[in-house]
């Protein structure tokens, strides 16, 4: 096991891509960059000007509800709302789909004042996820979802809500614009030589990102944020030990071995460890106030196992 004082190596700012949260949030908090990126995604060079954008926006409408941290919340001149998220890790198909539903609901509930009954004034909303994996397995660069009627094919609800999932590994180049394809390739792996970018707007975006990376102010902010996050991680590890997380894991292994003698050693060990790890996650959430995803990041829970723990924690008292 690693010692608390051991630190990870900080990834240089120049090597970050738009899938790295810090660079994505920093870029999208600049209205000009935000506008450029959204206009490429929506294939709308005449997209209204962005007059308000904020990164790391937290929505918490009720005192006892789950807070939602949005990577970007932006408004254009027509008051259309955009939430854009960079999703680097695949936390499971079911998880990400339903997270998009949660994000939309939290945005919607904050769009109206208490007592306002004119729902027709609600803003149009776009929820956009950019990811380096294919959530739906159809090899598309873009999946766009709007409400439609099962009984009347082609009838749209037109409620103003759109959810878009972008996949940097799509293969349907002939079905989308060359601009979108080049943009998604740029998002995942920034070319060393921007001259390789053919599209004018994507090249402009690359220049904007290069400018951010060369900014001394951004560099200092990145270094400070990384140091703060590293300290938080080390504190969480130490706090976890104080809370008996390591002991819990040992108890889980023991319980797994005992059950294994009765119902199958392999199955028993797996079940015992899983229950123990779920308790570790729940304990860390309660004592730090962190989200379940952040707790699993800290405890280094494998991505392909996270849906199991989310379900187990959901059934705990």
Q: Locate the domains of the chain by residue range.
A: 13-217, 243-314
What is the tens place of the pLDDT at every residue in 97-111? 888 888 888 888 877
Q: Is residue 283 pLDDT above 50, yes or no?
A: yes
Distance CA 277, CA 280 (A): 5
Average of per-residue pLDDT across 215-231? 86
Q: 65-79, 137-151, 155-169, 199-213: which range is least confident on average? A: 65-79
Q: Could you read off the pLDDT of 28-78 as tens digits, one per residue?
A: 889 999 999 999 999 999 999 998 766 544 444 443 444 444 546 788 999
Question: Model-level pTM greater than 0.75?
Answer: no
């Amino acid at each position: 096991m690693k010692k608390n004082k051991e630190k990870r190596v900080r990834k240089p700012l120049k090597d970050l891509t738009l899938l790295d949260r810090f660079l994505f949030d920093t870029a999208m908090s600049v209205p000009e960059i935000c506008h450029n990126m959204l206009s490429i995604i929506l294939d709308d060079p005449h997209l209204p000007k962005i007059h308000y954008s904020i990164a790391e926006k937290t929505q918490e409408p009720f005192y006892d509800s789950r807070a939602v941290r949005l990577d970007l919340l932006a408004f254009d001149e027509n008051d259309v709302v955009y939430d854009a998220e960079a999703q680097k890790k695949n936390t499971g198909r079911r998880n990400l789909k339903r997270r998009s539903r949660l994000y939309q609901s939290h945005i919607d509930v904050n769009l109206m004042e208490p007592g306002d009954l004119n729902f027709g004034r609600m803003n149009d909303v776009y929820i956009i996820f950019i990811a380096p994996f294919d959530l739906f397995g159809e090899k598309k660069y873009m999946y766009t979802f709007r409400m439609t009627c099962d009984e009347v094919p082609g009838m749209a609800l037109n409620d103003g809500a759109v959810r878009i999932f972008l996949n940097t590994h799509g293969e349907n180049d002939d079905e989308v614009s060359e601009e979108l394809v080049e943009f998604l390739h740029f998002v995942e792996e920034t070319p060393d030589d921007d001259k390789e970018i053919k599209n004018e707007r994507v090249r402009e975006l690359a220049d904007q990102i290069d400018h951010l990376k060369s900014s001394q102010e951004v560099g200092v902010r990145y270094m400070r944020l990384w140091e703060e996050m590293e300290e938080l991680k080390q504190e969480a590890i130490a706090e976890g030990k104080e809370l008996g997380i390591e002991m819990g894991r040992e108890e889980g292994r023991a319980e797994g071995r005992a059950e294994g003698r009765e119902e199958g050693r392999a199955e028993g060990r797996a079940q015992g460890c899983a229950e123990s790890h779920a308790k570790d996650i729940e304990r860390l959430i309660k004592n730090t106030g962190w989200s379940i995803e952040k707790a699993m990041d800290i405890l280094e829970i494998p991505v392909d196992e996270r849906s199991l723990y989310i379900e187990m924690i959901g059934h705990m008292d």
